[in-house]
Structure 1
Amino acid sequence: MNRAALLSLPLLLAACAQAPSSPLSSPLHAQATGSTTTGSATGAGVTRNYTLYTPAAGAGAARPLMVMLHGCTQSPADFAAGTRMNDLADTQGFLVVYPEQPATANQNKCWNWFDPAHQARGQGEPAAIKAVVDAVKGKVNVDAARVYVAGLSAGAAMSVIMGATYPDVFSGIGVASGLEFKAATSSSAAFTAMNSGGPNPDAQGTAAYAAMGTFKRTVPTIVFHGSSDYTVYPVNGDQVAAQWVQTNDLADDGQDNGSRSTAQVTTRSGTVSGGRAYSVKTFAGGVVEQWSVTGMGHAWSGGSTAGSYTDPKGPDASAELWRFFSAGSGGGGGTTPDTTAPVVSVSPAPGTYVGPLTVTLALNEPGTVYATTDGSDPVSSASRVTLAGGGSVTLAGSGTVRAYAVDTAGNASAPQSYAYTLTAAPDTAVAFSSVGTQDGYVAANTPSATTGGYVVASGGVSVGDNADAPWKGVLSFDTSSLPDGATVTGATLTVRYSLAPNGNPWAGGATLWVDMRSGCLGASCALGTDDFAAAVTAAGVASFAAPAGTAAGTTLSAPLNASGLAAINRAGSTQLRLAFTGGTARSNGLSDYLTLGEGTQVTLNVTYR
């Protein structure tokens, strides 16, 4: 069968391509003898008709109610005939109501389980189905603690949504060939989910728990799926079971602590006399039960050929649903308020860490966390931050995070304090050699020139003057390996004489100054005459005084000041320009200069954290 009918496309797809055979008898089923009435109900502006079956047994007493959601292309009468649920109701004394999805809402009469407009409490089809339950309660005496919802295919997917959005109404859910909570939120995603499963069932289980809001509670769940279902593939049955184990793990104590888990499983198997083999997994002490029927397609197991999309050879799903629901107790029963305070958890745990530190505050249920980082009272402090659903705060130094939370029912936790001691991160040191191919010097043609006349890119980096015409050295470093978010804590420039000085550029107390450019001095980082007078990012970032020695190999080192540290480029090149100022060498008519090494003979040593 084409799977499009689970959505809203023209082609038929409600259920199984299984060839029906003669129904197998069940001692629980007989010819229905009760009465059938119809009605309509409206919730959140959405109206749905329904058919109510009232058995003769138990009249006047409060009776359980079974809500049955048909599959695509089906009707209440068709679904009742195929499931034989009315026959079972006669023998067991419960009410059955069949809400009807009209073709005006979906051309194939599918419940719109994949549409976000129909996946939340108080809106869309969930609100309409809840209104049907309320309408039935207004007509007959219903045991509010024993209201159940089950469905086939699209109806099964909607029964999952009803269990998550109205756990105060439904004490258990039955899912026949269905999908997990919010397995899809669009028609295209629905096809993907039907074929290969929805999102991670743990995540969807947590989402279903969040959807419960203030009505969160355990919801027993029974799942039926055929191993040969090629409309909604069997992986979906596995996901429904896993999702509800996760939801019920959270619902039983408000914590994701494995109190209910898929590892808590027992398995049994059997074969219907003259029919199909099956296996049954019981999870977490019986809160979730999963039936896998060997060789069954997209069908209601054990149903009658009087209705569509049934497999009479499978175990009796209707009888097993009632047996499971009758044995368990879960949600439903009305609107018992949530009176439990939320629990705030922090990560990492209080202790000593390298700062700065981000502290995450999480909640075990929907609500809001209020937190301070200055030790003030989070209940009343003007400095508190508001973290809807939880969030994080950052400590720059040692301090105390204080927090409390309020859930959606208004329950507040007591303020808690979390103390953290932060230590400074150790500095990382890195040494950058200069880029020799970009090093050299740029010379003026005359003593009074203010622009460069020519460049020399080999033989070292000369700084000083030629017959009083100034020479300026250029050093280039690739500092892009520094992390973008690093804080530079220090830097030292080290240069070496590659030759003994010519003359004495230090004469008369001259100083060798360093200017810095974050990026390239001139039009490019290649040595150019425009480097001579190019604007710099920071001037005078370091200075050298005359060393004691004059021989080749003499080393000069100087720290960069704060302006120099800030000008180091984390995204590319950092260029330095060296020039003498002051002294008498520039006015003696002689050539006075020193020659520095380049490449590995020059280092910019940087520390950062």
Structure 2
Amino acid sequence: MHWHLLSTVLLFGAGAFAAYLKQVTNYNNDAKAKPGMWVYVPDSVKSDALVVAIHSCQSSAQSYFQNSKIPWHQGSDRKGYVTVWPSSTTECWGVSSKASLTHNGGGDSNAIVNMIKYVVTQYNIDPKKVFVTGGSSGAMMSNVLAVTYPDLITAVSLYSGVPAGCFVSASGAAAAWNNTCSGGNSKASPEQWGNVVQAMYPGYNGTRPRMQIWHGSTDGTLSPNNYQETIDQWTNVLGVSITPTSSKPNTPEKNYRMDDFGPNVEGIWAQGVGHPVPSHLDASEAWFGL
């Protein structure tokens, strides 16, 4: 083999088709909010599913993608599904303003849904296989998306968040911090939390996503109280009892407890775990049916 040919093989042979995180600058976003969009398409696409992975505060699509505790691109490589990584233009996601807490309100939630619509068309995704996950602020946004676009999202696995609408800001700021909610002092009945959901997309009475909710018992950033409030919210919205239909200790690992509330709501309480609960790829993929 001639040297120049050999060098070409060495340079391009192994990595010529290696998948990478790619920015999409024009995703047909008509929302006022303009978060960045990044997409990861594995070398071998074996699935028509989409997972949207939403970063926490003071992070970005790129750093979340590279975080060893956020294994979604490894899952993408292994099972062949496309992943989308939104990137916030503010320190945290806009989960405080009416724009984001309303269907087609023009906020971050609206923009992320535009990313989803773009990818569904571009990569032949099955619209019934759109899954959303995130941690902390990303968990809050996952919850907001489930409420404001229930017809577009199949299932959610959120790590260490709060009930949808809990972080609402009196000032109207898109990404304001809410001490009452973060401190676990925003308490309401299941019915009241359900009413918050109805108000975010008035008149909607179609299907809702399946919800998997994770929280750590020693979370010092978003009070563990938010776990039960979120369970209360979704059991009400999905019309099931707040008493678990089954409970599995030490699942998916030691000191974790998995409670099912019928087939569409699952809570995982992580004893002794702080903020946020690390992503559990296998358990989240199982919830998504991947």
Normalised by the length of structure 1, the TM-score is 0.41
Name 2:273's counterpart in structure 1: 296
* Alpha-carbon contact 1:206-1:246 (below 8 Å) kept: no
| 2:224 paired with 1:234 | yes
**Relative contact order higher in (CA < 8 Å, ≥ 6 apart):** 2
| 2:259 paired with 1:281 | yes
* Alpha-carbon contact 1:181-1:208 (below 8 Å) kept: yes
* SS state at 1:230 partner: coil
Structure number with bigger Rg: 1
Give structure 1 regions of 4+ aligned residues with deviation exceeding 3 angstroms.
209-215
* SS state at 1:196 partner: coil
C-alpha distance in 2 between matches for 1:43 and 1:180: 27
Q: CA deviation at 1:300?
A: 3.9
| Greater per-residue strand proportion | 1
* SS state at 1:236 partner: helix
Q: State the one-letter code of the partner of 1:230.
A: G
Q: CA deviation at 1:185?
A: 1.8
Name 1:181's counterpart in structure 2: 164
The counterpart of 1:50, out of the listed 23, 37, 40, is: 37
Q: CA deviation at 1:137?
A: 2.3
Q: How many residues align?
A: 261
Name 2:247's counterpart in structure 1: 267
The counterpart of 2:145, out of the listed 162, 166, 180, is: 162
| 2:103 paired with 1:118 | no
Q: CA deviation at 1:223?
A: 0.9
C-alpha distance in 2 between matches for 1:210 and 1:110: 23
C-alpha distance in 2 between matches for 1:326 and 1:210: 30
Q: CA, structure 1 residues 144+127, in 2 after alignment: closer, same or farther (shift >3 Å)?
A: same
Q: CA deviation at 1:243?
A: 0.6
C-alpha distance in 2 between matches for 1:139 and 1:161: 24
* Alpha-carbon contact 1:159-1:173 (below 8 Å) kept: yes
C-alpha distance in 2 between matches for 1:197 and 1:178: 14
Q: CA deviation at 1:264?
A: 4.2
Q: CA, structure 1 residues 144+271, in 2 after alignment: closer, same or farther (shift >3 Å)?
A: closer
Q: CA deviation at 1:278?
A: 0.7
C-alpha distance in 1 between matches for 2:30 and 2:235: 30
Describe the superposition over 1:45-97 as per-residue Cα deviations: whole angstroms up to 9, x where unpaired.
322211111112336xx611011110001111221233110101111221110
Q: State the one-letter code of the partner of 1:288.
A: V
| 2:78 paired with 1:78 | no
C-alpha distance in 2 between matches for 1:185 and 1:272: 32
C-alpha distance in 2 between matches for 1:36 and 1:93: 15
Q: CA, structure 1 residues 184+48, in 2 after alignment: closer, same or farther (shift >3 Å)?
A: closer
C-alpha distance in 1 between matches for 2:242 and 2:193: 15
* SS state at 1:116 partner: coil
Gaps of 5+ in 1: 1-32, 250-259, 303-316, 328-609
| 2:79 paired with 1:92 | yes
Q: CA, structure 1 residues 271+118, in 2 after alignment: closer, same or farther (shift >3 Å)?
A: closer
Q: CA deviation at 1:202?
A: 2.7
* SS state at 2:195 partner: helix
Q: CA deviation at 1:215?
A: 5.6
Q: CA deviation at 1:189?
A: 7.7
* Alpha-carbon contact 1:35-1:56 (below 8 Å) kept: no
| 2:235 paired with 1:245 | yes
Q: CA deviation at 1:322?
A: 1.1
State how 1:38-437 maps to structure 2 within 5 Å.
38-40=23-25, 41=27, 42-58=29-45, 63-82=48-67, 83-102=70-89, 106=90, 109-123=91-105, 124-186=107-169, 190-200=178-188, 201-212=190-201, 213-214=203-204, 216-249=206-239, 260-270=240-250, 276-283=254-261, 285-302=262-279, 317-326=280-289
Normalised by the length of structure 2, the TM-score is 0.83
* Alpha-carbon contact 2:131-2:155 (below 8 Å) kept: yes
C-alpha distance in 2 between matches for 1:189 and 1:38: 29
Q: State the one-letter code of the partner of 2:225.
A: V
Q: CA, structure 1 residues 272+189, in 2 after alignment: closer, same or farther (shift >3 Å)?
A: closer
* Alpha-carbon contact 1:43-1:130 (below 8 Å) kept: no
* Alpha-carbon contact 1:184-1:198 (below 8 Å) kept: no
Describe the superposition over 1:427-451 as per-residue Cα deviations: whole angstroms up to 9, x where unpaired.
xxxxxxxxxxxxxxxxxxxxxxxxx
* SS state at 2:45 partner: coil
C-alpha root-mean-square deviation of aligned residues, in Å? 2.1
* SS state at 2:51 partner: strand
Provide the identity percentage: 23
Q: CA deviation at 1:178?
A: 0.4
Q: CA deviation at 1:326?
A: 0.6
C-alpha distance in 1 between matches for 2:155 and 2:258: 18
* SS state at 1:144 partner: coil
C-alpha distance in 2 between matches for 1:205 and 1:236: 15
* SS state at 1:43 partner: coil
Name 2:22's counterpart in structure 1: 37
Q: CA deviation at 1:210?
A: 4.4
Name 2:5's counterpart in structure 1: none
Describe the superposition over 1:546-597 as per-residue Cα deviations: whole angstroms up to 9, x where unpaired.
xxxxxxxxxxxxxxxxxxxxxxxxxxxxxxxxxxxxxxxxxxxxxxxxxxxx
C-alpha distance in 2 between matches for 1:117 and 1:79: 25
| Greater per-residue helix proportion | 2
Describe the superposition over 1:168-223 as per-residue Cα deviations: whole angstroms up to 9, x where unpaired.
11001121110101013217882111102424143122331343433631321001
Describe the superposition over 1:505-541 as per-residue Cα deviations: whole angstroms up to 9, x where unpaired.
xxxxxxxxxxxxxxxxxxxxxxxxxxxxxxxxxxxxx
C-alpha distance in 2 between matches for 1:168 and 1:115: 21
Q: State the one-letter code of the partner of 1:92.
A: K
